[in-house]
């Protein structure tokens, strides 16, 4: 049976954990010939490849460093691959206190979430064939005003804007660009980025029971299936959109 990504090559930035790892696995399950996954540490990437298998290629790459993105491009070129699908997923979520936010905090969030995403797409674009698909990982916070997250909120609003503009910029090449906006999702970012402890995570799950119409916090694979839809021919006439995957949290 033909699978949606048979003989295709995908790139997933930030692919060593969470949504990125789940999406890389989904591409492989759907027949991808090769999936490149990036991350900032070799340890996390080695663990990811153990899960993903031999068709996964791990590349240590920090998207905030343009030189690292160029190295990723060079490695893909050395293998003779194109980039049929790009999931620009790498990003961070860290709290900041407005009125006491430092320039370093600002630069860290925007260097990764905005500059990093923009230059990932721009740098790899020559490897994307006409008719290819690009999916950007935004967030429902782009449309919210969550306290103590002003930098994160604004950075994801920029990602949503990129989906609109790049879809128009790339229309001559029929390259589709869409954004996926996850809602509450159980990923390592809760501990590693937002510094939530077990009690706070339990409280988040309790909050979701009331705030989310479906009543629970998503698992990464539930976001991954949406990304693979947007990247596939099933979404051939879907372009420039933001698809919220939030259990209805921001919709009703």
In this predicted structure, what is the pLDDT of residue 242? 98
Give the separation between CA 188 and CA 48, rounded to whole angstroms.
14
CA atoms within 13 A on the CB side of 84: 19
Give the active site residue among 36, 152, 216, 237: 152
Dihedral, CA of residue 209, residue 157, residue 180 and residue 205, to nearest 10:
-20
Q: Rounded to the nearest 5°, which phi and psi values hold at 144? A: -125, 175
Give the separation between CA 38 and CA 21, rounded to whole angstroms.
10
- Residue found by looking up tokens 């995403």 in the block: 117
Strands 56-60 and 9-12: unpaired
In this predicted structure, what is the pLDDT of residue 2? 75
Residue pLDDT tens, the chain, 252 long: 679 999 999 999 999 999 999 999 999 999 999 999 999 999 999 999 999 999 999 999 999 999 999 999 999 999 999 999 999 999 999 999 999 999 999 999 999 999 999 999 999 999 999 999 999 999 999 999 899 999 999 999 999 999 999 999 999 999 999 999 999 999 999 999 999 999 999 999 999 999 999 999 999 999 999 999 999 999 999 999 999 999 999 998
Give the separation between CA 55 and CA 154, rounded to whole angstroms.
36
3-state secondary structure of 124: helix
Q: Rounded to the nearest 5°, which phi and psi values hold at 11? A: -120, 130
Domains and their CATH numbers in the chain = 9-183+220-238 (3.40.50.720), 184-217 (no CATH)
Q: What is the CA radius of gyration of the chain?
A: 17
DSSP H/E element including 120: helix 117-124
In this predicted structure, what is the pLDDT of residue 152? 98
Indicate if 152 belongs to the active site: yes
- Residue found by looking up tokens 């990811």 in the block: 48
Report if pTM > 0.95: yes
In this predicted structure, what is the pLDDT of residue 50? 97
Give the separation between CA 54 and CA 127, rounded to whole angstroms.
22
* Cα angle: 118, vertex 66, 63; to 5 degrees: 65
């Amino acid at each position: 049976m033909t699978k949606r990504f048979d003989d295709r090559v995908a790139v997933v930035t930030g692919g060593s954990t969470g949504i990125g790892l789940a999406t890389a696995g989904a591409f492989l399950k759907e027949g991808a010939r090769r999936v490149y996954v990036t991350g900032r540490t070799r340890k996390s990437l080695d663990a990811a490849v153990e899960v993903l298998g031999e068709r996964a290629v791990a590349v240590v790459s920090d998207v905030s460093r343009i030189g690292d993105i160029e190295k990723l491009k060079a490695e893909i070129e050395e293998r003779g691959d194109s980039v049929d699908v790009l999931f620009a997923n790498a990003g961070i979520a860290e709290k900041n206190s407005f009125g006491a936010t430092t320039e370093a905090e600002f630069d860290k969030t925007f260097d990764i979430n905005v500059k990093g995403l923009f230059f990932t797409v721009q740098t790899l674009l020559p490897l994307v064939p006409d008719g290819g698909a690009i999916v950007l990982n935004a967030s429902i916070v782009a449309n919210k005003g969550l306290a103590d997250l002003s930098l994160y909120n604004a950075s994801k609003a920029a990602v949503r804007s990129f989906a609109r503009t790049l879809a128009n910029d790339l229309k001559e090449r029929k390259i589709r660009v869409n954004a996926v906006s996850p809602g509450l999702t159980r990923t390592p970012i809760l501990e590693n980025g937002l510094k939530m402890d077990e009690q706070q995570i339990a409280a988040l799950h309790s909050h979701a029971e009331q705030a989310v119409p479906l009543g629970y916090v998503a698992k990464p694979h539930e976001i991954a299936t949406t990304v693979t839809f947007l990247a596939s021919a099933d979404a051939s006439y879907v372009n420039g959109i933001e698809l919220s995957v939030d259990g209805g949290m921001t919709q009703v």
